[in-house]
A and B are shown apart, each in its own frame.
Chain A
Amino acid sequence: MCLAIPMEVKSIEDNVAQVEVGGVKNQVRLDIIDEPAQVGDFVIVHAGFALRRIDRDEGLETLKLFQEGLGLELVK
């Protein structure tokens, strides 16, 4: 239940962010995130809600790891 792949914030409207990873787009709610996220940030998503903002660099690096581990193309 907890596979927390960081997703990139593409846009934000009200309390909902459009996020994307490896071409998969999703909507996540920002109601319970503790640091406000901005476009370009990465967020850890759990069950449709952003749980935590993480550094863009760290987000990208983590994705590269998932990419190797899962054999998916998540980042160019």
Chain B
Amino acid sequence: MNLLNKFKDPKLCLNILEQVKHEIQGQFRFMEVCGTHTVAIFQSGIRTLLPENIVHLSGPGCPVCVTHDREIAAYLELAEKNVIIATFGDLIKVPGPGGRNLKMAQAEGARIQVVYSAFDALQLAMQNPQDKVVFLGVGFETTAPTVAATVKMAKEKDLDNFSVLSFHKLVPPALKALASDKDIQVDGLLLPGHVSTVIGLDPYLFLTDEYNMPAVIGGFEPLDILQAILIMIRQKSQGHASVINNYKRVVNDAGNLRALQVMREVFETSDAMWRGLGVIPESGLALRKDFENFNAFIVHEQDLPDVKNVPGCKCGDVLKGLISPDKCPLFGIRCTPASPVGPCMVSTEGSCAAYHKYSI
């Protein structure tokens, strides 16, 4: 058997599962903070195999799901201005105030173009010099460097028709907000594999230093996930916590220094609003003054409109792990993947969407 097939080997997985059952003492609530983990945990059936005294929660790890209503409202307003909106496809179905989304705006004539990368948006601007192109920037530390590199290129090319509306968010400050929230009670965190590829290990150390909370960077195969759970259980029973990189085949402890440097050159941290979690200090990325010609807030005089919450949607409680998706009164009735009420049901990586797909 080759090396990586082992990550799916049912016998090995069952062995680890047995070890988990053997070693566990007490009740634990673990949370994964990456949408890809959420999907992997459902797909592999791990959720149903875990002993009952482990509750596995899905945290705020889907960039679309944490995009705030007010941010969606800003996108919708911008779409009304005479610009071409370039966006990742995930965003166009996210309902904003009154259930309106970018797809509806498009049907009504707004110029909205789905792109695969920020660089595609830049090319769109180059091909349409008479138009203003705005790229909608969402995503975590994995996406932000790609957008930063694109903004740098726009500056080098001296483009005057390209800008970015940045709602990028940073994972560690959100984890800090979760760890310090007394209501939430998380005993350990399965850290996101690909965000960690960029930021490395250091930004998570506060979790163990300040909160004594086990934290494991894990891959997406069943064995990866089970190993991470076992590591967290062992740390719990030994009463000490550390950050472990259990995904060394992809994640370097130091992260991707080049990506980090480009990101810091273009962006500075700012406060950001997260759906369900509220304002988290220093958890967003805003374009630096040097790049203000590419900042859509300034170029298009866009602000963050006030909005009323989507009535009934419990995404906030779901993202904090306070309730499971099926406890939302709208789940599966008024809110389905075909007709989502909240963003957790929109993205395939959202908790509600994963829950809906694999539990019904």
Q: Is the CB of A65 within 8 A of B139?
A: no
Residues on B with C-beta less than 8 A from A54 are 249-250
| Given A29-B119, A48-B119, A62-B4: A1 and B143 interface contact (C-beta under 8 Å) | yes
| Interface Cβ pair total, 8 Å cutoff | 101
Secondary structure class of chain A's binding surface, majority of residues = mixed
Task: List residues 324-360 of chain B with CB under 8 A from any CB of chain A.
Answer: 347, 349
Once bound together, how far apart are the Cα atoms of A58 and B6, in whole Å? 13
The stretch of B15-23, B209-217, B253-261, B287-295 that contacts the partner chain:
B253-261
Contacts of B88 in A (CB 8 A): 1, 47
Residues of A within 8 A of B142 (CB): 1-2, 46-47, 51
Task: Enumerate chain A residues within 8 angstroms of B256, measured Cβ to Cβ.
Answer: 32-34, 51-52
Interchain CB contact under 8 A, B257 and A34: yes
* Structural contact, B4 and A2, CB atoms closer than 8 A: no
B5 touches which of A52, A58, A65 (Cβ 8 Å): A65
Q: How far is the CB of B150 from chain A (nearest CB, A)?
A: 8
- Whether A1 and B146, one on each chain, are in contact in the complex, defined by CB atoms closer than 8 angstroms, is no
The answer to whether the Cβ of A68 comes within 8 Å of any Cβ in the partner chain is yes
Q: Are B119 and A58 in contact (CB under 8 A)?
A: no
**Chain B, 58-83, CB within 8 A of any chain A CB:** 62-64
Beyond A47-B143, A51-B259, A65-B7, whether A1 also contacts B149 by CB under 8 A is no
Q: A48 and B145: CB pair below 8 A?
A: no
CB contacts (< 8 Å) of B221 on chain A: these are 65
Identify which of A49, A65, A68, A69 contacts B149 (C-beta below 8 A). A49
A3 at the interface (CB under 8 A from B): yes
Within 8 A of A (CB), among B84-121: 88, 90, 116-120
The answer to whether the Cβ of A73 comes within 8 Å of any Cβ in the partner chain is no
| Interface residue B49 (Cβ < 8 Å from any Cβ of A) | no
- A48–B146 touching, CB < 8 Å: yes
Residues of A within 8 A of B56 (CB): none
Cβ contact within 8 Å between B145 and A61: no
User: Across the interface, which residues of A come within 8 angstroms of B259, CB to CB?
Assistant: 32, 34, 51
Q: Is the CB of B349 within 8 A of A48?
A: no
**Interface hub of B62, B221, B250 (most chain A Cβ within 10 A):** B250
Report yes or no: B197 in contact with A52, Cβ–Cβ below 8 A.
yes
Q: Does A64 contact B (CB under 8 A)?
A: yes
Q: Which residues from chain B sit less than 8 Å from chain A, CB to CB?
A: 2-5, 7-8, 34-36, 43, 62-64, 88, 90, 116-120, 139, 142-143, 145-146, 148-149, 153, 192-194, 197-198, 221, 249-250, 252, 256-259, 262, 347, 349
List 23 contacting pairs A-B, 8 Å CB cutoff, sorted by A: A1-B63, A1-B88, A1-B349, A2-B34, A2-B36, A2-B142, A3-B36, A4-B193, A4-B194, A31-B149, A34-B252, A34-B258, A44-B194, A47-B139, A49-B119, A49-B145, A49-B149, A51-B256, A58-B4, A62-B4, A64-B5, A65-B5, A68-B8
Given contacts A32-B148, A64-B5, 9 further A-B contacts (CB under 8 A): A1-B35, A2-B35, A4-B250, A34-B256, A34-B258, A54-B249, A62-B4, A64-B4, A65-B8
Q: Which 10 A-B pairs have the closest CB atoms?
A: A48-B117, A61-B4, A31-B149, A32-B259, A49-B146, A34-B256, A2-B194, A34-B258, A2-B36, A32-B145
